[in-house]
Chain A
Amino acid sequence: MTTLARIPQLLVYGIISGSILSLGGIGVSLTYSILGFSNFAHGDFMALGAYIALGLFTLFTGLGIPNTRFGPLSFGFGFTVAFILAIALTAIAVILIDRLLFRRLRRSGPIILMMSSIGVALGLRNILQFFWSPQPHYYTQMIQRAVSLPALGIRIKPDEVFIIATAIVLVVLVHSFMRYTKMGKAMRAVADNATLAQVTGINTDRVIIWTWVIAAGLAATAGILSGIENKFITPELGWQMLLSIFAGVVLGGIGNPYGAILGGMVIGISEEVSTAFISTGYKPAVAFVIMIIMLLVKPTGLLGRKN
């Protein structure tokens, strides 16, 4: 197949990958703007979510809870419940990590918080390896047939449509939350000016808890979706995506969740389309190069604010 003819298909892969990177990026961006540090444990929150879903799904299967597939999708009721519960449990776990660690270090400044997040990242990954081994685990062994759309020159699996649709729904939900709810507005206020938020009477601790709920919930979703797309998960899945996520966040403008969505999409598409021209092995390098160029040319990112 000629290089050019492969591009539409690679765009599809890019949008799928970009959907997952965007969901991860929103959390990184919110944590950065509201809590004031780059959270290197975010990728491992994704892996945590993916493994909690695996654990629950295994448990449900053992209990005989049915998982008859929903139409053409590769999963059914049992997995969906595991998926939703995993989102909630990941959020709870992350809030506990905040109470145990990040909250105590809040006054120590962004560098200390960032370093401690690297510790959290290593800790979580090793806990996952301890319980599940570093070997890949499978959500399903089923092979799903892709649907061909010859007019567009693409093939796409029903699961992949589900991934893109989930990302779109969640982005709309997050947008509505940030735009129209009192807590969402308070989150933007704290991101704007935390001191002023405090003197205004905004309960910053509650804002922080909500920030973690959204960041961790979206991270768990991204981790599980990557498991659905790749069919397997490893404890390293989030860590391996973290560079691309950060690249997307920086590209879009760190601290701006909309920038994270745009940046994640651009990085996802660039990585996939690059494979038409260069070896697949260079995918992470593509993200890295885009991030470096952006930092040199416009460090505030595509949608970033000045200062």
Chain B
Amino acid sequence: MSLLTVDRVTSGYGDMEVLHDVSIEIAAQEIVTIIGPNGAGKSTLMKTIFGLLKPTAGKIRFIDHEITSHSPDQIVRLGMAYVPQVENVFPSLTVRENLEMGAFIRTDDFGDRIKEIFALFPILQKREKQRVGKMSGGERQMVAMGRALMLNPQLILLDEPSAALAPNLAQVIFERIVAVNETGVAILIVEQNAKESLGLSDRGYVLAGGCNRFSDTGENLLANEEIGQLYLGG
């Protein structure tokens, strides 16, 4: 049974339609990557799933809930988390405070969860009391993922987690993504530089011009010559 089902969704900004009848599915504990050129509607799809944009047609289901017209704070309570591409941390707060904010709606003691997240991202423990605004891009990305994990979500949406990172740092982030996935969290990644991401994904979708183009296992998409030439830079 699928965890998230996006069923023929049409969405966009105001009168500007960006996505046309897009459908995707993610099963529990899967890693799924959506690739596609700039302007394909990848970020729009994420924002629509997370309730930041309202679809004009189609349905979105998460676990047992229809979430098509839910607001982000309702969706977060159902066990989905979202890491935007930019401005995904609270810069004037410390690492620990960022994580605490991720647990805002928890009323129980989340000290153990913070320890688990420190185990996934050891650098965060060292920087616990540092303001995030003064940290590097890679560290910020880890803070953002850590914050999103605080509520023990079943699914995390990552919008271009490796964007603006040096290749070796991107490598570290992708390793961490796999480690997060191994704790049982399904992950939906949107990537422009997609080879790395597809390589670690169970499945992938190719989005272009706001429509579904291809979908297959990550491996097969990487092996597909046409996709390689069109979307993966040859």
Give chain A's interface residues, CB within 8 Å of chain B. 182, 185-186, 188-189, 191-193, 195-203, 305
Tell me the minimal C-beta distance from B161 to chain A in angstroms: 15
Tell me the minimal C-beta distance from A227 to chain B in angstroms: 35
Interface of A is mostly: helix
Contact assessment for B52 and A199 in the assembled complex, using a CB-CB cutoff below 8 Å: yes
In chain B, residues 34-93, which have Cβ atoms closer than 8 Å to a Cβ of chain A? 50, 52, 72-73, 76-77, 82, 84, 87-93
Alpha-carbon distance between A200 and B93 when the two chains are bound, in angstroms? 14
Also in contact, A196 and B92, with CB within 8 A (given A182-B100, A182-B104, A185-B97): no
Contact assessment for A199 and B50 in the assembled complex, using a CB-CB cutoff below 8 Å: yes
Alpha-carbon distance between A203 and B87 when the two chains are bound, in angstroms? 19
Also in contact, A193 and B104, with CB within 8 A (given A185-B97, A200-B147, A201-B151): no
Tell me the minimal C-beta distance from B67 to chain A in angstroms: 14
Please give, as numbers and ranges, the residues of chain A lying within 8 Å of B52 by CB-CB distance: 195, 199
**Smallest CB-CB separation from A201: which chain B residue?**
B76
Contact assessment for A196 and B77 in the assembled complex, using a CB-CB cutoff below 8 Å: no
23 A-B pairs whose Cβ atoms sit less than 8 Å apart in the complex: A182-B104, A186-B101, A186-B104, A188-B92, A188-B97, A189-B101, A192-B91, A192-B93, A193-B91, A195-B52, A195-B84, A195-B87, A197-B90, A199-B52, A199-B76, A200-B76, A200-B101, A201-B76, A201-B102, A201-B104, A202-B73, A203-B73, A203-B105
Also in contact, A196 and B102, with CB within 8 A (given A185-B93, A201-B151, A305-B92): no
Please give, as numbers and ranges, the residues of chain A lying within 8 Å of B87 by CB-CB distance: 193, 195-196
Alpha-carbon distance between A186 and B93 when the two chains are bound, in angstroms? 10
**Smallest CB-CB separation from B132: which chain A residue?**
A192
User: What would 7 more interface pairs be, CB under 8 Å, given A189-B101, A202-B73?
Assistant: A182-B104, A192-B92, A193-B90, A195-B52, A199-B82, A203-B105, A305-B92
Alpha-carbon distance between A189 and B131 when the two chains are bound, in angstroms? 12
A-B contact count (CB 8 A): 62
Contact assessment for B93 and A198 in the assembled complex, using a CB-CB cutoff below 8 Å: no
Size bin of chain B's contact surface: 20 to 34
Also in contact, A185 and B50, with CB within 8 A (given A199-B72, A201-B77): no
Alpha-carbon distance between A189 and B151 when the two chains are bound, in angstroms? 17
Interface centre among A186, A196, A197, A203 (most CB of B within 10 A): A196
Please give, as numbers and ranges, the residues of chain A lying within 8 Å of B84 by CB-CB distance: 195-196, 199
Also in contact, A203 and B104, with CB within 8 A (given A193-B87, A196-B84): yes
Alpha-carbon distance between A207 and B93 when the two chains are bound, in angstroms? 16
**Smallest CB-CB separation from A256: which chain B residue?**
B92
